[in-house]
Structure 1
Amino acid sequence: MHQPFHRLRAMPTLLFCLALAGCTSTTGTLGYYWQSLRGHLQLMQAAEPIDRWIARPDIAPALRERLQLAQRARAFAVAEMGLPDNASYRRYADLQRKAAVWNVVAAPPYALTLHTWCFPVTGCIGYRGYFTEADAQAEAAQLAAQGLEVEVYGVPAYSTLGYMNWAGGDPLLSTFIAWPEGEFVRLLFHELAHQVVYAEGDTLFNESFATAVERIGSARWLATEASPTAREAFATSEARRIAFRALTRATRTRLADIYEQKEALALTQQSLPAIKNEAMNRFRAEYAALRAHWLTPGGAGPVASTAQVAGYDRWVAKANNASFAAQAAYDELVPAFEALFEREDRDWQRFYDAVRRLSQQPQAQRHAALQAFVPRPTTSAKETPGA
């Protein structure tokens, strides 16, 4: 499973370290900035122009074909979606590792509120990225020692929000280049959307906006540019993703209700863990039923393989408040942005202008304005989604 909510905005640490100019490898904050700068520079140095890669006589045919697809998708993003025509995603880097970076997220044991770190440029964000998994795990261990629930996950995509276009821009990476076509173009459109609008310190707004852009844009791409095989493969994976998203959204609602009761009903420390554990067990049982449906012949659509659901399996096995809270940032306001796109007559530039105006409002005001675009559901969000 390719999880679109697992991405990284790397610019805050990079800019700060460049501003310091003399940061050195020490423990604590400066050590973190140093690893960010060093890792980013290594990544940029590994990147070469796509045309140069394609011209290599020893390149694998599958990689050449995918790089050519990337060029077409990049041109589509500019011509059909009004996304930036700049240096980003016109180079490719083979990182020879499974992830570009590793993110750390954390949340209290009885709340779906992400622990935040504050940086220049982007403000306070609910994750911290490391270029080695060992460093990420060390940070997670420190947070867990403070009583927080933590998750560490590999991030396939890397973005500097367009600030490094002068130096060659963000490259395509080996960590996602081989994804299925629909998933690949979605990620490309998502990352470019961050270069259009970025509200400082508002992860929910930023990620929901980019996710809306990727969904709308990839639907157009698949309808007009992709082969029937690619469209069918995407439709199948998207059906699984929608079902899983409904399940996790229902579980988040359940958990939020439990944590609200902690204050309203003064639940004892003995009863609260038991109620939370019951909700998590219900989530895993419902996922097991959904998974069985995917793997059983006779259901709607092609039968999934165990490899195709392995990412979902890993997510469920580690699921906690941190992972649920991180996921919420990528989908909670998406329906509102999609409704805004329709209100602007599906005109990309009008849509981007409207989002820019929202980004200039105070955070609470912009969120309230977005929620007003979405009609209230006619059924309870607490209902268990059907598998």
Structure 2
Amino acid sequence: MPFPSLRRRIGRLATVASCLLLGGCGSLSYYAHVAHGQASLLMHRRPMAEVVRDPATDPGLARRLGLAAQARRFASDALALPDNRSYTSYVDLHRPYVAWNVFATPTYSVDALPQCFPIAGCVAYRGYFEQARAQARAADLKAQGDDVWIGPVPAYSTLGWFADPIVSSMLRWDDDQLAGTIFHELAHQRLYVKGDTAFNESFASFVEQEGLREWRKARGLPPPDPRDQAMEQGFTALVLGLRERLEKLYASTADAAMLARGKQAQIEAFRRRYVQWRDSRWSGDPRYDAWVGSPINNAKLLPFGLYDRWTGAFAVLFERAERQWSAFYAAVGALAKKSGTERTRDLERLATLSNPIGPVRQ
């Protein structure tokens, strides 16, 4: 189902331990919080094989972890992803999510207030292992006049610096989404460009999507339903269209009162476009209704587009590599070594080849 898939994508922006590695996260209290949260995960890991064999383990949990172990092995054997201890252990969090990300923008801007870390580079959020801390940070930013949104995080990655476990919040997804997340996070460990979120997430999303096709084929299952992906892409295009309209509004010379009215008018117009799109193209499918019906601000729009911007470009590279993973990774690695300007130029050219008519905005 695309709505859980979309929530999974938004929630995976979670390399909160990156600041732990070399410091530089601002206040000492935040550093201590992240260190404690990361240490807690490491301390409570249990090998998945041990959990599966334990007679006290719920049979449903044992089945899901057994499937995760198969997907983990497939990732290394068939997709040429790192063969290490990541996602070979399990942690029961005893809470609904592993972390919460705080996104923030100025009131009249669609650009994030960046958080910069030594290894991950600058990203659009700051992550917390405790919901109360995320809420306190959000309240402080809101009091300063910023737009704020808190995104719950079911999955978690340290980009390979630690042996990241499967956490219980990942098991809320179906089997495909669980396997796909393992492929996605291991792709980050295979290749990561500091400070280029769209490149990193699009690359990992392509590995996830193509890896999932191969995973299903190996298990004798049909390919994923293309309608699900089409609906998710269509909704993402609607949200990106709203963001573009707001960006143009904020670039105008209007005063604050006019900007406030224009902002609300654009959000309401988006809701009307959504209803028309939902009813005319998807027979009233309500899976995005809750997102659209809840409060919308600039910060809530930030995660969209990061995961899909360059997936078409990576698809072209994969075909050029004759669908061989090692050759594909070599081609992506060559792109990663280029300057940001050169890399973007090459990706734009490749994306045009994957979609000659260019991107669609609704």
TM-score by length of 2: 0.89
Rounded Cα–Cα distance in structure 1 between residues aligned with 2:318 and 2:115: 31
Rounded Cα–Cα distance in structure 1 between residues aligned with 2:292 and 2:150: 11
Match of 1:349 among 293, 314, 326: 326
Rounded Cα–Cα distance in structure 1 between residues aligned with 2:191 and 2:214: 21
Deviation at 1:80, TM superposition (A): 1.2
Match of 1:195 among 182, 189, 207: 189
**Correspondence 1:247 to 2:235:** yes
- Is contact 1:114-1:126 (8 Å) kept? yes
> Which residue in the other structure is 2:174 paired with?
180
1:274-310 deviations in Å (ceiling 9; x for gaps): 333222112223434555679x9xx5xxx97x7xx3x
Which letter does structure 2 place at the counterpart of 1:361? Answer: K
- Equivalent positions of 1:166-315 (< 5 A) are 169-225=163-219, 227=221, 235=225, 239-240=227-228, 242-263=230-251, 265-289=252-276, 299=283, 309=287, 313-314=290-291
- Is contact 1:255-1:276 (8 Å) kept? no
- Is contact 2:124-2:302 (8 Å) kept? no
TM-score by length of 1: 0.83
Match of 1:154 among 152, 155, 165: 152
Rounded Cα–Cα distance in structure 2 between residues aligned with 1:312 and 1:51: 40
Which letter does structure 1 place at the counterpart of 2:174? Answer: P
1:177-199 deviations in Å (ceiling 9; x for gaps): 24211111111111111101111
Which letter does structure 2 place at the counterpart of 1:366? Answer: R
Match of 2:17 among 3, 11, 34: 11
Rounded Cα–Cα distance in structure 1 between residues aligned with 2:277 and 2:95: 32
Rounded Cα–Cα distance in structure 2 between residues aligned with 1:59 and 1:198: 36
- Is contact 2:109-2:250 (8 Å) kept? no
Deviation at 1:380, TM superposition (A): 7.1
Match of 2:106 among 81, 105, 108: 108
Rounded Cα–Cα distance in structure 1 between residues aligned with 2:16 and 2:220: 31
- Is contact 1:5-1:329 (8 Å) kept? no
- Equivalent positions of 1:302-381 (< 5 A) are 309=287, 313-314=290-291, 317-375=294-352, 378=357, 381=360
Deviation at 1:39, TM superposition (A): 0.5
Root-mean-square deviation (Å): 2.6
Q: What percent of counterpart residues are identical?
A: 34
Which letter does structure 2 place at the counterpart of 1:256? Answer: E
For structure 1, which segment, 41-50 or 281-290, has the greater mean C-alpha deviation from structure 2 after superposition? 281-290
- Equivalent positions of 1:80-95 (< 5 A) are 80-95=78-93
Rounded Cα–Cα distance in structure 2 between residues aligned with 1:121 and 1:38: 19
Which letter does structure 2 place at the counterpart of 1:161? Answer: L
1:240-280 deviations in Å (ceiling 9; x for gaps): 453243233233234324423543x5234343333332221
- Is contact 1:248-1:324 (8 Å) kept? no
Which letter does structure 1 place at the counterpart of 2:217? Answer: A
**Structure 1 spans left out of the alignment, 5+ residues:** none
- Is contact 1:182-1:218 (8 Å) kept? yes
Rounded Cα–Cα distance in structure 2 between residues aligned with 1:212 and 1:352: 12
Count residues in correspondence: 354
**Structure 2 spans left out of the alignment, 5+ residues:** none
**SS, match of residue 157 in structure 1:** coil
